[in-house]
Amino acid sequence: MNRSIKEGEKTVLIVALLISAVLTARASGMFGDVIAAMTGALPAGSVASADAGGTVSAEAARPYLIVVTGADGTRATAAYDDDARDALYEKTGSIMNEALASATEPVKCAESEWRAALSSPGVMIEYYSEVPLALARGWLGAPAGGSRLSIRRLCLVFSDGPSSLYCEGSDGFYRAEAASLGGDKTVPAVYSGNIKYEFETDSDSAAPYMLLLSDDSPRRAASASNPLALDGVLPAVLSPLGIDARHSPGYTDADGSERYVTSAASASVSPDGLITYRRAVSAGGVADNAEMSEESFAVETAYRTVAAVGSYAGAARIYFTDVEAAGDSDSDSNSDSFVVSFDYYLSGARVFFPEREHAVSVTITDGEIAEMTFLFREYSFSGAVALLPERQALAACGGTFKLGYSDGGSGDASPFWYAEGDNGQ
């Protein structure tokens, strides 16, 4: 998946925010209970709480773009502002929860139906990358369900009768019936008549579902540091992994990495903040995952680990990025192994590293953490950078583009536009 960063004419912009956050789905299914847990992903030292059954609240890929369309065609949205996006999600998340909880199994529909839905009164949410629909349902507090679809966008169309819920993924467009969800359920927001999808002004646009919200706004630069260098941070990070950094007999490799070894696990801590953890023996006592798919359980388990280790990310947030089945042909064919990835985001823009595909990668085998790499960073905003205006970037790219940050390890994280298919690498 690694691709070289293409700047200049291939650089591009995020039209709306990537968001992911921690949603605590309570047994009652009431969305109001989870709002307090959604305001940030993995704050410093956070620990995921387990319920009586041993599961934890799902790490959610909170949608990076939220668009509310009113009855008169005006819209409300939020971009490049975590607080504004969080506030809008608090006004719409419960509605999406109701829709997903009551939805029938999605069936294929035409792209024209999808476009009509986007132009109708309702709510559209977009994830940074495709996620299994079953996981998205769980993140929003709805029953997980058995759908095998992976989706990028969800659009709920309000109706006084049965509402319609539309999905978009890599294999096309889908429609499901949902409960009656009228527009009066929305919380008033700031609407504008100037917010349009690209297909509404150009039906043949190469980026039909983008919204260009600003042509000349400067983007904030950021500085980066290694928080593991701070007193007390490393012991706090290694402790949830069963390693006591104050007393374990560590030694130093030729590259300066400190190694800590116990009978159950080992960890290497590099000077630039990368922790590499490996389990030596099975921890035993794997939580019961009878009500979850293996993939969903892997995400839950990985999030529990990442949350327990904690984040010291400063102005950034850490969000779920991807889950894939491990494809090691040499591994035990009877083992269920998944690789779950997380990344840093600055105001919804993903941070990229020249030699790393993801900031955090967790391998879950047979329901337990087997390996993890975690590149620790703390970010703060510093100054502004003028980039190519959005409209010019769209013309230069010829397709969907996003805002990213490049962290080359020099202490700075610079914003840049990149073509969506390039993933910034």
DSSP reduced 3-state for 313: coil
What share of the chain has pLDDT > 90, as a percent? 35
Q: How confident is the model at residue 3 (pLDDT cuts 50, 70, 90)?
A: very low
235-294 pLDDT per residue, tens? 999 999 989 887 776 788 888 899 998 888 999 999 999 999 999 876 555 555 555 678
Per mean pLDDT, which range of 145-154, 185-194, 347-356 is the poorest?
A: 185-194
**What is d(CA 210, CA 402) in angstroms, rounded to the nearest whole number?**
10
Q: How confident is the model at residue 167 (pLDDT cuts 50, 70, 90)?
A: very high
CB contact set of 424 (below 8 Å; sequence gap of 6+) = 5, 350, 352, 402, 404, 406, 416, 418
Per mean pLDDT, which range of 10-14, 58-62, 252-256, 350-354 is the poorest?
A: 10-14
383-395 pLDDT per residue, tens? 889 898 888 888 8
Whether the CB-CB separation of 140 and 127 falls below 8 Å is answered with no
Domains and CATH numbers, the chain: 17-23+58-201 (no CATH), 227-376 (3.40.1000)
**What is d(CA 256, CA 17) in angstroms, rounded to the nearest whole number?**
38
Per mean pLDDT, which range of 201-205, 314-318, 397-401 is the poorest?
A: 397-401
Beta-sheet strand order (sheet of 163-169):
75-77, 65-69, 122-132, 150-157, 163-169, 172-178, 107-109
326-349 pLDDT per residue, tens? 865 444 445 689 999 999 999 889
| Predicted pLDDT at 53 | 36
**What is d(CA 42, CA 209) in angstroms, rounded to the nearest whole number?**
30
Q: How confident is the model at residue 90 (pLDDT cuts 50, 70, 90)?
A: confident
Residue type, 345: Y
Whether the CB-CB separation of 127 and 152 falls below 8 Å is answered with yes
| Predicted pLDDT at 120 | 95
Alpha-carbon separation of residue 11 from 280, 349, 398, 402 (angstroms): 43, 14, 11, 8
Its pTM stands at 0.81
Residue 50 has pLDDT above 60, yes or no: no
User: What average pLDDT score do residues 292-313 get?
Assistant: 83
**What is d(CA 78, CA 70) in angstroms, rounded to the nearest whole number?**
15
